[in-house]
Structures are given as structure tokens and as C-alpha cells.
Structure 1
Amino acid sequence: MKAGFDPQKYIEEQSKYILERVNNYDKLYLEFGGKLIGDKHAKRVLPGFDEDAKIKLLQKLKDQVEIIICVYAGDIERNKIRGDFGITYDMEVLRLLDDFRSYELEVNSVVITRYNQQPATNVFINKLERRNIKVYKHVEIPGYPADIDTIVSEQGYGSNPYITTTKPIVVVTAPGPNSGKLATCLSQLYHEYNMGRMAGYSKFETFPVWNLPLKHPVNIAYEAATIDLKDVNMIDNFHFERYQEVAVNYNRDLEMFPVVKRIIEKITGKESVYQSPTDMGVNRVAFGITDDEIVSEASKQEIIRRYFATICDFKKGLVDEESLNRMKVIMEEVQLRQEDRHCVMPARDYAAKLKETCHENETVTVMAFEMHDGKIITGRSSSTMDCCSAAILNAIKYLAGIGDEIFLLSPLILSTIRDLKEKVLNSKITRLNANEILVALSICAVTNPTAQLAYERLSMLNGVQAHCTSMLNKNDEQILRKLGIDVTSDPFYPSENLYYV
């Protein structure tokens, strides 16, 4: 896809405005919304966006930055899963710690929010502390967020331990939403002012984009991405009343703004510098858009992808019917159909054709890839491998100019892997998945120049669009994600089995 976004201009604009905020205070607590590393959503809706732009921006400021990671104790206790990586929030905290260190960014500590002696949380705290990672525990404040007199007192924020920080910019991030980032920032503000230091609070925002129209596809794609949180974009009435300027924000920020403004004013003892929730954010995304048509089309495709994700999550019991119906309304609002995703119908048509020749109880799953040149490549499940593996092999053969009739993988290696699964590991599933097929390909590439030629084309799958006629297992989902392939699925299980799928 052609680029419609200038990442360098965005980083320049964003860093300039952050530094302007820092200059007004002894210390700035900067709440980061969205993903700090690997922001795939932003990359998809803003072609040209660097998914690691935010972390690279912080790396440029690393001498002035330290990081606090917040995680809600309740999310640890119920093993909340981060969907894109398929890992729990406590594991995501560990992943973030490793990633921040790899960028040479200083991690101050981990804050456990709304802590109440939860058993699983205590185990996690022990794990962190025994690896010499500082942990702070913030308890739930009675009356939060309505009882401001209690919140801004020794019984409220004062009961939270002060997190000792040394850098002028303190980034507050989390594994996901509703992790307590805002409360942690305001708690720190309370302690800073009590110690006679002038501190400030701001938000690093990406979506929704305040100076794009309310119904711009980029902003609607944000609603689709947060369908489970029930976020709704709205006109920031506080901003309009103050500046007579239309700005877009979302319902949670608008609902909380009067409370946050009053808390800041009570802490500082003076009128807040922020007159609207839009004022609080630093969001220069719109200034990086170079081609609105490209960005709009990419956003529409993201809405369709989110639609498929939602109907599959509903099938799995992960979202409620209200979220599903809201997603359907969004599709109608933008006048989109499932078939507007170009790889959907080829996958379905091929599956229907195969069904005509299959045995009555045989289930065949098909995956279709839409390549960068528009070519559709398909793969079907078989007794040897699943459809994801077949599609990957067919796609790299196409990219390498290898005939479809030529085998890339040694039958001996494939049968050895299947024997290992079936006879040694006692697996009930002998069909090879994408991970196993890629391992087999890498082995064959050592002695087979044709396999080597195809192996070298794997990186060219980055950005390919894919659709599957049944829901994928976690293993294949993660392999496709690592290859950079954006995949959607129809909301059907690949078999009647409940566990062995």
C-alpha cells in the first residue's frame, strides 16, 4: 500500500510539543494511551506510520525520561489476555520491561493499582521483587472518583506511597486500558506539590485524532478497535465552549474531565491550565497525514478487520452481544460489507468448491492471501498440514517464481515431524501447523536451493492480507502476526471438537 503518512514529521511535531509542556514544570507526568511499542493499529490505519515511533521518540529523549508501568490487580487475578500477543497482562508487564531495557530506557518501577491482597497478584509481586524490580502498591480509594475531598487528602492519594523519580519526564504506561495510569499520575502530583515541587500532567494521545472530523474513517476505526471498552467518539464540548474550535475526543475522557480538572485544581491550589480534555493531550497525528484518501481507505479496511475479529470473539464468548451489535452499526455507518475485503470471497468460493468433492463428514478449511500486487493465493487444509501452512508455502513459491508442482519440503522430514508428534509426544493432532512447516522449510533450505529461494521470500509477506474460512488456533495466529500478515476469519470452528482442533 502507498504511504499516506510522514512518520518523521510526526515525531518532530510530537516531541516539540512534549518538550514545550516539560518546560513549564519541574517534572511532567506523561500518560501514554495505546501501545507504546508495536502499535499495529496505527500502522494499519496510517500507511507509512512507524509502529515503534513512540518508543523511538522516547529513546531520543532517554536522558530525560524514566518509565512507570501500571497494572490493575484485578486484571492479574482474572488472567486478562492481551489479544494481539495472546499473553496475560502480568506476562505483558515482563515483556515491556525487557523491551524498554533493549531501548536503553530506564524503568523506575511497577505499580500495582487497586491492590487488595489478591493471591495471584502477591505471587506476581514476589516474582518482580526477587528480580530486583521495585514494586509499589496503590489501594482503591473510597469514593473515587466523586469524593474529591477524600481523594485529595492523606486518606486518599496520601495513603499511596510516593514513587521516587529523578528525571524531568516520567512516562506512565500499562499493558492495556483501565490499568490506573491516570490515578497514578494524579497521586504523584499530590505528593510532588506537598513536597513543594511544581509538577504537571499530560497525555500522549494517538486516537481519536482531535483535529480530524468526528466521522473520519480514522476516528471510526478507533471506535471499532475499542468496541469491547464501549468507547464512543464525541465532540469535545468543553473545548468548543472555551475556544469555539471543534475537537474530537471520546466519552471516557469527556466524562472524567470535570473531575480531573477539579482534582488538579485542588492539588495545585490554582486554576487548571487545561480547559478541555483535548488540552490535556499531545496529539499531532493529523499533521503527519500526507494523503487523506490513502489513510481513509486503510481505515475502512481496518474497520472490516475489526468486524471479523468481533464476530469471532462473540463466537468464542469473549465479547457480549451489545459489542457485536455496535460493530454491525459501525459497518453500516461507513457503508462497508464483509466482501469489501478482497481476500474474503476467494477463500469462501474455493472452500465451497472443495466441499462439493469432499466426503460428507470431511471439513476443509481455506485461507486466501491477497498479495501486494493484488494476486490471490490460496491454501487448503489436508491430512499433512493446515490451511495456514499451505497458503504460506504457496505464497512464497509465487514470490520466488517456483512452479506449483514443485515440492519445497522433503516428505521424509515431514513424516519424521508427524511421527514425533504422534508416537513420541502422543499428540492427537498430527496435521502440521505453520510453526512446524516453517521449521521444516528452514531445514530443507540448507540442502535444497529451491527451498532456500522460497525461504528468502518470507520477509516479503509483511503487509499481505489474509482471510480464513474458519477461526485459527493461537499458534497460527501468532505466526501470521510475526510474519506481518493481517488475517481475518469467518466465525466458524474448524471441527466439532472442543479441545483437539
Structure 2
Amino acid sequence: MKKGFDNDKYLKMQSEHIRERISKFGNKLYLEFGGKLFDDFHASRVLPGFEPDSKLQMLLQLKDQAEIVIVISAEDIEDNKMRGDYGITYDSDVLRLIDAFQSVGLYVGSVCLTKFNEQPSAVLFQKKLESIGIKSYRHYKIPGYPSDVKSIVSDEGYGKNDFIQTERPLVVITAPGPGSGKMATCLSQLYHEHKRGVKAGYAKFETFPIWNIPLKHPVNLAYEAATADLQDVNMIDPFHLEAYGVTTVNYNRDIEIFPVVNAMFELIAGESPYKSPTDMGVNMAGNCIVDDEACCIASKQEIIRRYYAALCEKKTKGYTKNDIMKLELLMKQAGVTPDDRPVVVSALEKEKITDGKPAAAIELPDGRIVTGKTSELLGAASSALLNAIKMLAGIEDEVKLISPDAIEPIQMLKTNYLGSNNPRLHTDEILTALSATAAHSDVARKALEHLPLLKGCDAHSTVLLSSVDIQIFKKLGINLTCEPKYEENGRVFHKH
């Protein structure tokens, strides 16, 4: 797998750029931090070489200067809003983030509850924070936000918000998810700081879209695919083009809100430090792409994966938040179709030659593709997984890693005692059986040791897989797609 991104260069350049921005604002910068800090797997897929925790590692280089303020909407707490990737509520995720930041040595200064209106759940959450020694503050909904700038930037607007006490030059404003009020929190703080005679600054850190690569570059198209549920659209920044005569890329929400934000800056500080939304950003990722072709290939694959994910969600739930027509348009703009995903072609060919039985394919790091078919003992995904590690380990195809005698008792447990109608082993069950076999089999042990090499590989199934199989592929770091159809014709309910 070819690297297209220099992660070490990124860590150095990004931290230096943020230090430089801090110095421009009298040694006090509020940095709105978008995207995922700990597990940015989207970035690592479209920028091969980008580590999922790169942004966290960059912050660790600034940890003596930085403190974290986590922002959460009181309305989201009251509504029990969930994080889809973790399956936990936003307030639980705040606690998770506090633990995660503190465990790596980053200082969490406080939590800010935005849109606060005495919501019972928000009040209880604030008491929970108090009990664990975390300071919390309340920010309120402001009538006329964001258009009534004069009312917002006044003692009756931002002035009513609690002033968040901070100690360090760099204040990182982050949140469990979008719509939490990060920007409003930053601007409220600027208002209070300037009232106190402190000329603090604001900057925005978003990895995507990357501002200094072309608008229709596959990396930026992949970002649109990732946010197809939010209807984000990448655009040329007209303010930057007018101010500097330079073409840069931003996205619609930042461009639409910039005149309002600019007016707020002028009311708070007398003048705006920025001439465009691009000026507000500090992202250096575009300067660290070292192999554009590798990033293009990876991003095109990501667009196809997003397309398949939307199709499968619609099949299993009956609806999808993602705009499938938009994803089809993005594939067209990127010049790809599902057939440009090699594992799709291989899996469908395997299905044909096995009389339409479910099949799966995995592409190995060196480009070889292995397939798996459905049998009495194994599902296609389990079969493909075993075949993949056998090939990586150089084990002959006819060698059985696990004896049928070891598989049959597991099947009996499933069908006779646990009430399953499907005797075939899921991927978690086959890996458990392989691990048990490895205790007394050198061949099984050798195969098991090659399992980590599947991280970052692509896979495709010709039918929808169970949630168990999907989670195993995710834990192994395999990029899985599925055809939007059930194994049994006519089924309308997705079994987990």
C-alpha cells in the first residue's frame, strides 16, 4: 500500500503553524477543532500515511501550552442524541473524551453547555461534572442568532454567557459532534476577553476540505461523500479570491456564515483579522501530500465505499440520511464506478461460478485478491478471511487451518443450545476456533500471526453481512463493502 502522506512532516508543520498563529494574537488563541481527534479513520483512508491519531499527536506537541474545553449542546443532552459510531449519547461521549484527553496528558479545563435553558437532563449532567471535579459553564440561546449581529455582540447577547476561565495560551474548543456550538463558544469568549482588555484571537482547524488542492480533487470529493448526510458542498472561497486573487477551497457553511462572523469580529475588536474563511483556517495537510496519485486512488475507493454504505443502509433501514444521487454524481466527477473496486468484481465473479451462493473477496497489501465461498461449515466472509491469512503466511491452499472436528462442536452449540438457525461460523467464531487451534498447531499459529497485515485492506461481500461480521472486519481495520441484498430472497428484516 503506497504512502501518499508524510505524517512526520505534518506533525511538525501543523504544530509550528499553530504556535505562529498564537503569537499573532497576544498569546491567547481559541482554536475551534473540527473532526475526530482520536480516530480520524476517514483521513487515514484518503491520505495513506496519515495516522488516525495524528491530530492528537500534534496537540501533544503543544500540550504545555494547550487546554481543552469540551462543548455540548444542552438540547442534545435533553434529546439523548447519539454518536452513531460508538452507540453512546453525546453526554456520555463528553465523559469518554475527558478520560481520553487526561489519559494522554492533555489538560481538560472545563465543559461548556450551550443552548442552555434549564433542561433537566443538562442540569443533572452539570451536577455529574461537578462530582468528578470538572468545571462547567452555561451559554444560552441568543435571539436572532446568527443574523442579528448587534444584539449578539452585546451585554444582552454574548454578555449573558458565563465567561469560561482558561489558563493557557491555546484553548482547544472541541465537541462530541457537529451542531454543538463550538464557533459560538469561541466568539463569546473573544467578546468577554476583549471586555477584560485581552486581545485574544480565533482560528479554525478542519482537515477537510483541503484548502490548497483543487476543488474537484478526489480527496475533496471524498469529503463531500463523507458528509452527504449534511449536504455540505465544497466551493471556491470567493472572499479569498477577491482579497488575494488566489483560488482556495472551503465549504458552503463557512462561506455562508463568514460575513456574519466578520461583522462580529469588527464589533468585538474594532477590526477583523481575517479577509476570508480560508484565512481563519490553520490546516497544513495539503502541504504534506507527497504522492498525489496514491491519495487520488485511495480517495476514489473511499467514494465508492460511501456509495455502497448508503445503499446498504437504505436496504436494511428502509431509508438513508445520505443523498444517494449525490454520491453517484461524486463517483462520476471522480471518474469511477463500482467496477473500479477490484474486490467487487472478484466477489461477484466468485458468486457466479458457485451457482449464486454468497461470496466474498479480500485484496491483500500486494494487490493479490483472495475469495471465499459459502459452505456447510463457513460463511463466505469467514472463508475469505482464512484464505487471506493462509496466502499471507505462504500456507498451501489445501491445508486446513482448523479441523472440522473443532468446528462441529461450535455449530452444535449455536444450533442446539443458543437457538441459531444458521450453523455456519461467523468471523468471530472462526477466529476463536483458530486461536484455540493455534495452541497446539504451528500452522494455525503462523496464520494467526499474519492477521494484523490485513489492516487497511479492502473487502467485499455479495450479500449483507451480520453486525458481528461487520464489527470484526472493522476491528481488523479492513475496509468492507457489501452488495445491498440479503442472502435469502424475499427477506425484509436485517438480522444482527
What is the TM-score when the length of structure 2 is the normalising length?
0.92
Moved more, 270-279 or 155-164: 155-164
- Cα distance, 1:189 vs structure 2: 1.5
Structure 2 equivalent of residue 41 of structure 1? 42
- Cα distance, 1:395 vs structure 2: 0.9
| Separation of aligned partners in 1, 2:194 and 2:465 | 52
- Cα distance, 1:267 vs structure 2: 1.8
- Cα distance, 1:42 vs structure 2: 1.4
Instruction: Select 2:393's aligned residue among 400, 405, 423.
Output: 400
Counterparts in 2 of 1:18-37, with a 5 A limit? 18-24=18-24, 25-37=26-38
Query: Judging changes above 3 Å, is the alpha-carbon distance between structure 1 residues 130 and 491 closer, same or farther for their aligned structure 2 residues?
Result: farther
Counterparts in 2 of 1:35-434, with a 5 A limit? 35-118=36-119, 121=122, 124-125=125-126, 127-268=128-269, 270-315=270-315, 316-317=317-318, 319-320=320-321, 323-356=323-356, 364-382=357-375, 384-411=377-404, 413-422=406-415, 425-426=418-419, 431-434=424-427
Moved more, 476-485 or 241-250: 476-485
Conserved in 1, the CA contact under 8 Å of 2:220 and 2:234?
yes
Query: Judging changes above 3 Å, is the alpha-carbon distance between structure 1 residues 181 and 346 closer, same or farther for their aligned structure 2 residues?
Result: same
- Cα distance, 1:89 vs structure 2: 3.5
- Cα distance, 1:340 vs structure 2: 0.3
1:446 aligns with 2:447: no
> Which letter maps to 2:99?
D
Unpaired segments ≥5 residues, structure 1: 357-363
- Cα distance, 1:153 vs structure 2: 2.3
What is the TM-score when the length of structure 1 is the normalising length?
0.91
| Separation of aligned partners in 1, 2:494 and 2:134 | 38
**What is the aligned residue count?**
492
> Which letter maps to 2:335?
Q
Moved more, 50-59 or 414-423: 414-423
| Separation of aligned partners in 1, 2:70 and 2:410 | 42
- Cα distance, 1:471 vs structure 2: 2.8
Conserved in 2, the CA contact under 8 Å of 1:231 and 1:250?
yes
Instruction: Select 1:490's aligned residue among 480, 483, 495.
Output: 483
Query: Judging changes above 3 Å, is the alpha-carbon distance between structure 1 residues 308 and 118 closer, same or farther for their aligned structure 2 residues?
Result: farther
| Separation of aligned partners in 2, 1:101 and 1:430 | 45
Deviations 1:274-326 (A, max 9, x none): 110000000212211112222222221221112212222333345347x1111
Residue 365 of structure 2 aligns to a residue whose secondary structure is: coil
Query: Judging changes above 3 Å, is the alpha-carbon distance between structure 1 residues 388 and 117 closer, same or farther for their aligned structure 2 residues?
Result: farther
Using the aligned pairs only, state the percent identity.
52
- Cα distance, 1:117 vs structure 2: 4.6
Query: Judging changes above 3 Å, is the alpha-carbon distance between structure 1 residues 137 and 439 closer, same or farther for their aligned structure 2 residues?
Result: farther
> Which letter maps to 2:193?
E
> Which letter maps to 1:28?
L
- Cα distance, 1:383 vs structure 2: 5.1
Structure 2 equivalent of residue 458 of structure 1? 451
| Separation of aligned partners in 2, 1:430 and 1:189 | 62
Unpaired segments ≥5 residues, structure 2: none
Query: Judging changes above 3 Å, is the alpha-carbon distance between structure 1 residues 72 and 165 closer, same or farther for their aligned structure 2 residues?
Result: same
Conserved in 1, the CA contact under 8 Å of 2:7 and 2:288?
yes
| Separation of aligned partners in 1, 2:461 and 2:67 | 42
RMSD of aligned Cα (Å): 2.4
Conserved in 1, the CA contact under 8 Å of 2:216 and 2:333?
no
Residue 179 of structure 2 aligns to a residue whose secondary structure is: coil
| Separation of aligned partners in 2, 1:132 and 1:430 | 51
Residue 230 of structure 1 aligns to a residue whose secondary structure is: coil
